[in-house]
Amino acid sequence: MEQEQTQQEEALMCQSCGMPMHGGELLGSEADGNKTTEYCMYCYEAGEFKQPDITLQGMTDLCTGYMVEEGMEETAARKVLADTLPLLKRWNSTAGSIGM
């Protein structure tokens, strides 16, 4: 059971920006203060998106900057984000209208 929980924590990815959320310190929060495993603390706080009007392109640009700072080439970062972000809950139109 403990191994299963560890694997789930390792697999958590923010459903807005795609950032891996290892451990509980990066989890966003709901309005009631409880942690959410869907979004990171940089995207989601107190039950609301911190940047509710950001577009998919805006999120791509924002995340590209962080990935380049971490040493990834810009072209590679944009490719990873183009392949990943549209599949995440916030940007996937089939997942509902949250954040759209």
pLDDT of residue 94: 55
pLDDT digits (tens, 9 = 90+) for 15-60: 999 999 987 899 999 999 999 999 999 999 999 999 999 999 999 9
For residue 60, being part of any structural domain is answered with yes
Report the domain count for the chain.
1
pLDDT of residue 41: 97
* Domain encompassing residue 7: 2-92
Average pLDDT over residues 74-99: 84
For residue 23, being part of any structural domain is answered with yes
For residue 37, being part of any structural domain is answered with yes
Helix, strand and coil percent figures for the chain, each rounded to 5: 40, 15, 45
Instruction: Spell 17-52 as b/e; 16+ CB within 10 A means b.
Output: bbbebeeeebbbbbeeeeebbbbbbbbbbeeebebe
